[in-house]
Amino acid sequence: MSLKGKNVLITGASAGIGAATALAFAAEGARLLLAARRTGKLADVAARAKTRGAAAVHCIELDVRDHRAVQNAIDFLPREWSEIDILVNNAGLSRGLDKLYMGKAEDWDEMIDTNIKGLLYVTRAVVPGMVVRGHGHIISLGSTAGELAYPNGAVYCGTKAAERLINDGLRQDVLGTPIRVTSVDPGMVETDFSLVRFRGDSDRAAKVYKGVKPLTPEDVAEVIVWAAGRPAHVNIARVQMTPVQQANSLLFHRDE
């Protein structure tokens, strides 16, 4: 399926997997609707996307945790952007690495509000239009953490398990329409993920990747674009991908 001229909405598009996905779709000639909180970084991604071949780029300052803001952003898109062909639910984060009984409520709220409720808000705002038009594809970013919990990460893992089940339920709910629903579930990817988790502690973040060659954001973006480009009758329900030095969310082989 050609992606040229398709309207692609990507949340959390200012960095990491979101930014890489924007550039990958740009290379296919897609029209990019980029959403994130950090408008300065988002503008940089937009400029790079244009040089990569994006047919057009439109940026939205958006916090997916704000239900009203999400609905308004979709309801009041310029006419030429109102028909979204592909939604990439990428916005997500982790905060802290604490035992559950010692966790911080504010960290739990931020993860649940972004990873679960934000996913729901954006999906709810976008998918009805896809159903009415009779075409569309929702691709959500999950994680190996959604399949197997790891110590001190119970709430984050729980949010990613929720993403997987919500995605599966959505696929059932749109059965009988041409809408496709995909979950891309990476393992270790070297982004700002750990820096965000540890609130800017770069030394602690660097230890996460020590001795392992992790996936890159571009690796994940390539799979997202591949899934979107399958023939219209083909739905890629789920892709789980890891570095070769990772077996699951618990087991790694680290070089000395």
Q: How far is CA 156 from CA 114, 159, 170, in A?
A: 11, 5, 21
For residue 89, which amino acid is it? N
What is the predicted pLDDT for the residue at 238?
A: 98
Q: How far is CA 7 from CA 25, 88, 130, in A?
A: 10, 11, 12
**81, part of any domain:** yes
**23, part of any domain:** yes
**221, part of any domain:** yes
What is the predicted pLDDT for the residue at 204?
A: 81
Mean pLDDT by 10 residues, the chain (256 residues): 97 96 98 96 97 98 98 97 98 93 96 98 98 98 96 96 98 98 96 80 82 95 98 98 96 92
Output phi, psi for 115, to 5 deg: -75, -30
**247, part of any domain:** no
- Length of the chain counted residue by residue: 256
Question: Within 13 Å and on the Cβ side, how many CA atoms surround 254?
Answer: 10
**1, part of any domain:** no
What amino acid positions are annotated as catalytic residues?
156
Number of domains the chain is built from:
1
**250, part of any domain:** no
pTM for this structure?
Answer: 0.96
Domain ranges, residue 104:
7-241
**91, part of any domain:** yes
**140, part of any domain:** yes
DSSP labels, 107-156:
HHHHHIIIIIIIHHHHHHHHHHHHHHHT--EEEEE--GGGTS--TT-HHH
CATH classification at residue 180: 3.40.50.720
